[in-house]
């Protein structure tokens, strides 16, 4: 009995957590809603997974200065924005809305065509900006970040970003909405801040983008 008991006891002890070992911290969810700190301006981030990546570091950089919310989902293409925009905005007052669509619009779908054509993208953006202006918030358009060279999946063409950004620029100029040119910021740094053959950014890259996002938001608030 003793010889069987000792190995069993040993295995049980191995399964127990090390004494004094701190539990693993749970990573915050950038899509989770936040509670407002009273007396601070309210900021809304709208965008796709690129903006999801910079949400938490932006919030940290603006801690004590603004309540930084984001939509509770991937913003996807402009077609999704048109369907969801009212629920994303809600009934609360927004001081600044920093927004983007584009990376999903220009991607190629399994049928071989872009998800949203450039002409439809421009028309959809115009409708979305008109709706956002109704909030009375300061609007900041963040243009679409670069697509790297190589076989990116789903298929996206680097030159398309330039064309879609140009279409967006026409809409923003028409409505007097300032443009946050994150494309030009990211382009010369892609080797350092973007994942290889991927439209997404490393954690350090997302932090670098967050620095720019926090800066333009703070400028708008001041």
**pLDDT tens track for 186-208:** 999 999 999 999 999 999 999 99
Place of tokens 């909405």: 177
Any domain includes 24:
no
Any domain includes 102:
yes
Q: Which residues of 94-121 are buried (b: 16+ CB within 10 A; e: fewer)?
A: bbbbbbbbbbbbbbeeeeeebbbebebb
Any domain includes 209:
yes
**pLDDT for 16 beyond 70:** no
pLDDT confidence of 13, banded at 50, 70, 90? very low
pLDDT tens digit string along 72-83? Answer: 999 999 999 999
Q: What is the pTM of this model?
A: 0.87
Any domain includes 77:
yes
**pLDDT for 3 beyond 60:** no
Under DSSP, the state recorded for 114 is B
| pLDDT value for 100 | 98
Any domain includes 5:
no
CATH code assigned at 55: 3.40.50.1110
Q: Look at 68 and 28; give whichever has higher pLDDT.
A: 68
Question: How many whole angstroms separate alpha carbon 77 and alpha carbon 79?
Answer: 5
Residues 6+ apart with CB under 8 A from 37: 64, 67
| pLDDT value for 159 | 96
Any domain includes 16:
no
Q: How many domains does the chain have?
A: 1
Any domain includes 171:
yes
Q: Is 73 helix (H, G, I), strand (E, B) or coil?
A: coil
Any domain includes 92:
yes
pLDDT confidence of 9, banded at 50, 70, 90? very low
Question: How many whole angstroms separate alpha carbon 81 and alpha carbon 101?
Answer: 8
Alpha helices in the chain (DSSP H): 2-15, 49-61, 78-89, 118-133, 158-175, 182-186, 190-193, 203-221
**pLDDT for 96 beyond 50:** yes
Q: Look at 15 and 48; give whichever has higher pLDDT.
A: 48
Range of the domain at 199: 38-221
């Amino acid at each position: 009995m003793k010889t069987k008991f000792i190995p069993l006891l040993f295995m049980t002890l191995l399964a127990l957590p090390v004494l004094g070992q701190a539990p693993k911290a749970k990573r915050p969810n950038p899509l989770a809603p936040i509670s407002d700190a009273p007396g601070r301006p309210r900021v809304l981030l709208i965008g796709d997974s690129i903006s999801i990546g910079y949400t938490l570091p932006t919030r940290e950089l603006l801690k004590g200065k603004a309540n930084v919310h984001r939509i509770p989902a991937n913003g996807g293409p402009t077609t999704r924005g048109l369907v969801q925009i009212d629920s994303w905005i809600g009934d609360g007052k927004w001081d600044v809305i920093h927004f983007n669509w584009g990376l999903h619009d220009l991607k190629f779908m399994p049928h071989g065509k872009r998800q949203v054509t450039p002409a439809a993208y421009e028309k959809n953006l115009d409708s979305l900006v008109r709706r956002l202006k109704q909030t009375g918030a300061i609007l900041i358009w963040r243009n679409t970040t670069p697509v790297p060279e190589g076989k990116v999946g789903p298929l996206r063409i680097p030159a398309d970003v330039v064309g879609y950004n140009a279409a967006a620029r026409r809409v923003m100029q028409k409505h007097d909405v300032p443009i946050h040119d994150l494309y030009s910021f990211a382009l010369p740094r892609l080797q350092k801040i973007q994942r290889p053959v991927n439209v997404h950014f490393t954690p350090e890259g997302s932090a670098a983008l967050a620095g720019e996002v926090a800066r333009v938001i703070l400028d708008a608030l001041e």
